[in-house]
Amino acid sequence: MDKTETKEKRPPVVVVMGHIDHGKSTLLDYIRSTKVVEKEAGGITQHMSAYEVEVDNPEKKNKEKITFLDTPGHESFQAIRARGAKVADIAILVVAADDGVKPQTLEALKCIKEEKIPFIVAINKIDKPDANVEKTKNNLAENEIYLEGLGGDVPFVEISAKKGQNIPELLELIILVAELENLEGNSNDLAEGVILESNLDPKKGIVATLVITNGTLKKGMFVVSEKSLAPLRIMEDFLGEKIEEASFSSPIRIIGWNQMPKVGAFFQTFEKKKEAEKSIASYKEPEEIQVVNQSNIGGEEKVTIPIVLKADTAGSLEALEHELKKLDNERINFKVVSSGIGTITENDVKSSISTEDKAVILGFNVKKDNSAEILANREGITIQQFDIIYKMTEWLKTDLAKLLPKIAVEEITGTAKVLKIFSQQKNSQIIGGRVEEGAMTNSEFRIKRRENIIGEGKVKELQSKKEKVGEVKEGIEFGANIESKISISVGDILEFFKISEQSVKI
């Protein structure tokens, strides 16, 4: 198809965003009259999903299409939510009337503002006994979200997604905002858009969910996204029904890619295979910024934990990697040595065995095959499977810490100043002094002279007021028989310490 200048009105793509448990999926459930929430593990939408609905336009007395993007509320899926805002024309920011503005609400708002798209605030859960709409409005204003009629121009609707209250008004407002935006497309153009999700289906092969932002896609064409190619033989709508063509704003699934397309990548369409292959050949990977990984910070060795990651989709895989990066700190570093989509296999276990410290295998919404389990048990490889991402985080912080080697931690217990030398022999000296800080015990110490460490020693016997004691506290004078190869002098500082083994904190 040749490009023309013919422009047509196109349906809006609407992204639903907000804090976890504020009712995003419940809102879409009501609109689509389905039960997505009940099907999701833990009641959390953990993948971006796209849905197309028809709504009444009371002014024009016709039906109009809206494409909704349902983005996960959990903070680990920040990249997916940001990507949702990027392909959307309009955003709905859902805020619960019983909970108000939360960190992920502000994070979603930041995504919306960065992409410069109009948005509507849906104040949800107004049916709950503890709902306080006015307080929520004030809370929004405190966070620089100024609603219409309250000093701002952000349209809003008070709704109950659970009961369907004021949902028709919200849909009408979406249509109104879309008309004001004057959204247009050209159905004669070759289709282009964005990859929303990709995964490996055991029966179908590599499947990707796309949103068409312009043009038309027909069976027999070729879709290219960076280095990934799909001859368009099987195309499905969001319900899984096979279709022959699709146009702008439509969410579709394409089956039969030669390799996994990257989530968030741009796609374009070609009528001939040679043109598609030429596009792939001319594509250049963006240069990666080299990051220097310091394994020793502040003189303390970092513990590196090798990880093998397996997930059901590319979006989930990205989210897991994001979560692991958040857990890195000054003492611990998670290193993904291998990652992929689909079932945990024997090869994944072999990848774990090949690492120096036997990588932990983490699976998200995937199964493990029998050969993988047998080999893992034989080689002592840990495999953990999760269906909710925060459970993975909890496991890493608690159970994984028990599997890590203990680290030696030094603690300064006290300092003492040498005031007098009574006798000095080869390795034994009798001194007098005063505890300056903490406490002095029958333990090891360092000898500091003019701020420099010149040696070490150990207390063999400790006296205070001519009596043997086990400890002398701050401000009290003492006598001590010490063992050291260094001759101690008046004015030296003895720094007492103890070393204990502790688990690495994640």
* Measured torsion, CA atoms of residues 340, 344, 347, 352, in degrees rounded to the nearest 10: 80
Whether 295 shows a pLDDT value over 60: the answer reads no
Mean pLDDT of 116-134: 94
Note whether 179 and 201 are same-domain residues: no
Percent residues over pLDDT 70 in the chain: 87
Looking at residue 125, its pLDDT comes to 95
Last residue of a domain, one of 369, 403, 437: 403
Note whether 239 and 131 are same-domain residues: no
Whether 49 shows a pLDDT value over 80: the answer reads no
pTM (predicted TM-score): 0.65
Note whether 369 and 332 are same-domain residues: yes
User: Where is 108: in which H helix or E strand?
Assistant: helix 103-115
Looking at residue 414, its pLDDT comes to 93
In a domain, 423, yes or no: yes
Concatenating the DSSP letter of every residue in 135-146 gives: HHHHHHHHTT--
Note whether 199 and 132 are same-domain residues: no
298 pLDDT band, cuts 50/70/90, is very low
Note whether 468 and 435 are same-domain residues: yes
Mean pLDDT of 174-199: 91
In a domain, 292, yes or no: no
Looking at residue 466, its pLDDT comes to 86
Looking at residue 311, its pLDDT comes to 93
Looking at residue 504, its pLDDT comes to 54
Last residue of a domain, one of 403, 438, 471: 403
Note whether 374 and 250 are same-domain residues: no
Q: Is the dihedral of CA 49, 53, 57, 62 positive or negative?
A: positive
In a domain, 289, yes or no: no
d(CA 55, CA 152): 28
Note whether 481 and 422 are same-domain residues: yes
Looking at residue 288, its pLDDT comes to 40
Note whether 113 and 240 are same-domain residues: no
In a domain, 290, yes or no: no
Mean pLDDT of 149-160: 93
Mean pLDDT of 321-338: 84
- 229 in Cβ contact with 208 (< 8 Å): no
Residues 6 or more apart in contact with residue 460 via CB below 8 angstroms: 428, 442, 480, 481, 482, 483
Whether 290 shows a pLDDT value over 80: the answer reads no
Note whether 132 and 270 are same-domain residues: no
- 125 in Cβ contact with 49 (< 8 Å): no
- Of 261 and 121, the structure prediction assigns the larger pLDDT to 121
In a domain, 287, yes or no: no
Residues 6 or more apart in contact with residue 164 via CB below 8 angstroms: 30
Q: What is the mean pLDDT of the chain?
A: 85
Query: Taking the CB of residue 307, how many other CB atoms lie within 10 A of it?
Result: 22
Looking at residue 401, its pLDDT comes to 65
d(CA 64, CA 53): 8
Mean pLDDT of 3-28: 84
Whether 474 shows a pLDDT value over 90: the answer reads yes
List the one residue out of 77, 58, 55, 59 whose CA is nearest residue 68: 55
- Of 385 and 86, the structure prediction assigns the larger pLDDT to 385
297 pLDDT band, cuts 50/70/90, is very low
The DSSP bridge partners found for residue 70 are 16, 49
- Of 290 and 206, the structure prediction assigns the larger pLDDT to 206
Note whether 223 and 118 are same-domain residues: no
Last residue of a domain, one of 403, 432, 451: 403
CATH number at residue 414: 2.40.30.10
Instruction: Report the domain count for the chain.
Output: 4
* Residue 278 region by backbone torsions, left for phi larger than 0, else alpha for psi between -120 and 50, else beta: alpha
Whether 108 shows a pLDDT value over 70: the answer reads yes
Mean pLDDT of 486-495: 93
Looking at residue 69, its pLDDT comes to 84
286 pLDDT band, cuts 50/70/90, is low
Looking at residue 232, its pLDDT comes to 94
Token pair 């701020």: residue: 451
In a domain, 288, yes or no: no
Whether 39 shows a pLDDT value over 70: the answer reads no
Looking at residue 38, its pLDDT comes to 59
CATH number at residue 399: 3.40.50.10050
- 323 in Cβ contact with 390 (< 8 Å): no
CATH number at residue 166: 3.40.50.300
d(CA 489, CA 424): 10
Looking at residue 344, its pLDDT comes to 95
In a domain, 154, yes or no: yes
In a domain, 293, yes or no: no
Domain of residue 358 covers 302-403
Note whether 172 and 212 are same-domain residues: no
Note whether 13 and 100 are same-domain residues: yes
